[in-house]
Each structure stands twice: as C-alpha cells, then as structure tokens.
Amino acid sequence: MQDWINNYFDTHVELLKTLAAIPSPSHHEERRAAFIKDWLDQAGAQGAYIDEAKNVILPFAVEGRNDITVYMAHTDVVFPDETPLPVREEDGILYAPGIGDDTANVVGILTAVKYILEHGLQPKEPVLLVLNSCEEGLGNLDGTRRIMKDFAGRIKELISFDGSYQSMIVRAVGSERWKVSCRTVGGHSYSAFGNPNAIHHLAKLINRFYEQPMPDWADQKTTYNVGVISGGTSVNTIAQDAEMLYEYRSDDRKALRFMHDQFFRILEECESADAHFEAELLGERPCNGEIDPEAWERLLSRCGKVITETVGKPVARRSASTDANIPLSVGVPATTFGLYLGGKAHTREEWLNIESLRTGLPIAIRLITSHFA
C-alpha cells in the first residue's frame, strides 16, 4: 500500500491543489460537487450521484442493507469567495484557505477510491462514501442531516475525516446560534437627544451575557460568544435598530439547556418600554445522545488502532463540533479525525505539511478497504 501511495503521491498532491482552488462556501458547494462527481466518473467509479443537499455520494453494496458504514469529508470552506482561491507551495508547505479543513480529507477519500478501483477490490460489507456539504458555520451540518434522513435506520456507524490525525472526536459539542435584534425610538442626535438608542440597549444586553453565571458541574465545558454586532444609520442619528450574532456551546446536553433557558431569561429581563428584542435561531447543533457503549467503543478502538499503528503514537480523544454531532445525537456510533498535519484553520493563511499526507493517506485507505476484499 505504501509503495502505491508513494507512486501516486504527486498526482494526489496535484488533485489537492486543483480542488483547493475551487470556491466552495457553505450552501454553495455546487462547483466542487460537480468537479468531484466528474472525477469519480472518469476514474471509473459506478453509481456516484449528487443529492439535493449537494452531497456527492458513492455507494458500495448498500441496497437493502441496514448495517452501512459511512465515511465522509466536507467540501465547504468558511470563506465566502466566489472566485478561485489562492493556492501556493513553498518549502514543502501548501498554503490555501481551507487546504486542510477540509479539502485534504476530501482528496483522501478520492485517493482511497482510486486505490480500490485500481486493485479491483469488491465490497464485502455495505459502505457509503460521502463528500458532504454544509459542515461549516451556518451550514448547520445540513449535508450530514440529509444523509441521516435519507438513510434513516440503515447506518451502523459513521466516520468523518476532518482535522488532523493527532486526535479523535468522541464527544459532540452542541451549540445554538442566534441573531438578536433590538428596536427602539431613535431620532436626531441633537434635537432628539435623550431618546432611547438601540445600540446602547444592545450593549447593555451584551454586558449581561458576559456577566451571566455558567454551568458549574464537573465533566463539561460550556462557552458563549458575541461574534458580530451591527446597526445604526449615521453618526448623527440615534439608532433605531441594532443586532448581533450570539452563540453558546457545550459538550453537555444539560449545560446547553441551561444556557438556552438563561438566554431567554436575560432577554426578557432586558425588555422594556424603551427597547424591544427579538431572537431568531440561525443554527443548532446537538450534543451526544444515548449510544450503545460497546458498539461505539468498537468503532473508536478500530479507528484508534489504525491511527496509532500508522502514525506511531497513541491518538488523543477530545470534544469538538463536527459532522459526527448528527449521528451521535441520534445514537449512531461516530467519530471524527483527519489525515494531515497543518495549522491556522479558518484563516486565509491556513497551511498543510505535504509530507504529512504520506502518513495520513494510509489511515483512510486501511479503514475504507477493510470493508473490501
């Protein structure tokens, strides 16, 4: 396998550069999806299709089966660009927005498909390979939600390739994202001085959020953040409207509910004759549900063993918010880990160590081909 990877490696890297340049904002992954579907067709894969959520799906022996293993990697990036993304190579490093998160892992699945096809492997168990949409931000995990809906009751386990091979995700960080709007009287900054100002009232609300008590029980982590504020008309206008984007996260269902209830309690307490607040839910990610512990540990142990044997050291287990949130929330064993080493994800300076791909690729190929003969 490693000899094959070494011989194919330059082609793999060139495919990564090509795909990384294709813009792919959440909800607008159609260009990458079309490229991937065409690549699979030209490689000789049979039955690949694009669903209504812009997921590219390649099924192997899944018809009539209720024990499907899913391997996936997301095609969207956090950047809104509609023009080609810049990609450059320098001293063994690839630089591009989204080069690692998650383009390298998408190409890892494609190269695993190439390996399967070139070696004439046939499925001995049902496998679904998915290059999915809408993992990032307000994509709200819509691609994975669609997979779990369309294959409801048929998925045995799910592995999402995302991030590096240094850790495995075993606990889903749930979240709620809100747009909070404030409206009040406003007016001219001089002649109506003293009238309520929406920006001022929004600022007081934000201050309340940053003074709120947090869940204090053990074995959980809970956070909150105001990420964007906007509003007003001009420097000489008392603002009638202002809004913010606010989120809270937790890897504990009880704590997430605590933050939800407190959010609405603070909103109600800040409501007054001078200022009216409205909250719109923009995105929601669930925490872990009830999962068969034995089935889940079998999946984690199998994946951890392959990573450890390939990388040469044990893999850490941690919490995060990924595509695995959706299966975990409904009791399907799932985990997330990646196939590379890099840094500065979610910035335009994101980078990836090219040689790390030579280590990461065997992880994907060994796991996926374990279902083939």
DSSP assignment string, 338-361:
-S--EE-TTSTT-EEEHHHHHHHH
Closest of 260, 243, 235, 239 to residue 202, by C-alpha = 243
pLDDT of residue 206: 98
Give the mean pLDDT of 106-134: 98
pLDDT of residue 159: 98
pLDDT of residue 84: 97
What is the band of 101 on the pLDDT scale with cuts at 50, 70, 90? very high
pLDDT of residue 278: 98
- Report the predicted TM-score, pTM, of the whole model to 2 decimal places: 0.93
pLDDT > 90 in the chain, percent: 99
Chain centroid to Cα 135, Å, comes to: 3
C-beta atoms surrounding 130 within 10 Å:
26
pLDDT in tens, 140-149: 999 999 999 9
Q: At what angle do helices 105-118 and 2-21 cross, to 10 degrees?
A: 130
pLDDT > 70 in the chain, percent: 100
Give the mean pLDDT of 310-329: 96
pLDDT of residue 251: 97
What is the band of 327 on the pLDDT scale with cuts at 50, 70, 90? very high
**Structural domains of the chain, with CATH:** 2-172+287-369 (3.40.630.10), 174-285 (3.30.70.360)
Q: How far apart, in Å, are the Cα atoms of 276 and each of 231, 265, 271, 272, 281?
A: 14, 14, 6, 7, 17
pLDDT of residue 197: 98
Round to whole Å and give the CA distance between 174 and 208: 22
As a whole number, the mean pLDDT across the chain is 97
What is the band of 292 on the pLDDT scale with cuts at 50, 70, 90? very high
What is the band of 117 on the pLDDT scale with cuts at 50, 70, 90? very high
pLDDT of residue 178: 98
Round to whole Å and give the CA distance between 109 and 105: 7
Contact 236, 189 (CB under 8 A): yes
pLDDT in tens, 332-367: 999 999 999 999 999 999 999 999 999 999 999 999
**Strand-pair category, 167-172 with 316-320:** parallel
pLDDT of residue 44: 98
pLDDT of residue 335: 98
Closest of 39, 304, 358, 63 to residue 167, by C-alpha = 304
Contact 338, 352 (CB under 8 A): no
- The structure tokens 């492997």 sit at 121
Give the mean pLDDT of 31-50: 98
The DSSP-derived string for 223-234 is EEEEEEEEE-S-
Q: Which helix (H) or strand (E) holds 39?
A: helix 30-43
Residue 281 structure tokens: 């839910």
pLDDT of residue 338: 98
